[in-house]
Structure 1
Amino acid sequence: MFVAPSTTESLLAEAETENLYLKLIEQINKDFNLANEAIDFPLSTKPEELKVQLHEKIYRLIQYRFAEYLNLLYVIDVPEDQIKKLDGSDLVALSEQVAFLVLKREWMKVWFRNKF
C-alpha cells in the first residue's frame, strides 16, 4: 500500500532507499518537458540540490509565469484540493509547499510503476 511521505527529505530518502531516485528525476524531467517547462535535472543531481532547484523553479513560475505554473500542475496531476488548502500569503513558503506536492505526485507515479 502506498503511504506518501510527510516531508521532502523523507520522500527523497525513501526514493533513494528503494533505488528509485533516478526514476524520480526522470519522471520530473519528463513531466516538466510535457508541460513545455524545460528543466533537465542531470541524474547526478543530489537530493538536496533537487529540492532547492525544484523550489526555485516553482517560485519563478508562480511569480512570473502563472499560466505556465497552472499548466504544469495540470500535467503533473497535482490534486487541486491540496493546492487550494495552501496559504498563498508567503510566496516562498507557498512555492516550497507546492514543490513538495509536485515531488509527492511524481514519487507516487514512480512508486506505482515500480510495484505494479
Structure 2
Amino acid sequence: MTVHQYGSGQSVRHSGSTATVARARAVVDLYTDGSADPRLDLRPTCGMTLPPRLIQVGDAQFLTADSIELADRLDRAGARCELQVWPDQMHVFHALAALIPESRSAYRAAALFITTNLDRAATLAV
C-alpha cells in the first residue's frame, strides 16, 4: 500500500474515528434496508481478485481512520492500493474545485492513478 500525506511528504496514521460502530451500522441499515448483501462486505481476503484502488481522504473528516483501515485490509489481501491523505481537507473536498486548490490536485492525482493503471492493464493484455 502506498500512503501519501500531501503537503508534508510524511506518512500518516490516525488513532480512530469519531463515529461509533452503532451509528455506522445504523447508517448502513438506512442505505441497505438491513440487507446482508455480500457485496457490502469491505473485508477483503487473500486470494480475492481485486482491482487496483485509490482512496483519497481528507484528514479533517471522520472517515479518515476508516479509509486507512480499508487501505490496510486491501494491502493485507494482496491488492494494490494507494491511500492519499490530504491535510486539512473535509469530506468530499473534491466537490469544491472552484474554492479549494487541493481539490484540483486531488483530481490530477486520480487521473494519474487511472492512466497509470490503464496503461499497466493494456501492457498485461498484450
Same fold by TM (over 0.5)?
Answer: no
Larger radius of gyration: 2
Higher helix share: 1
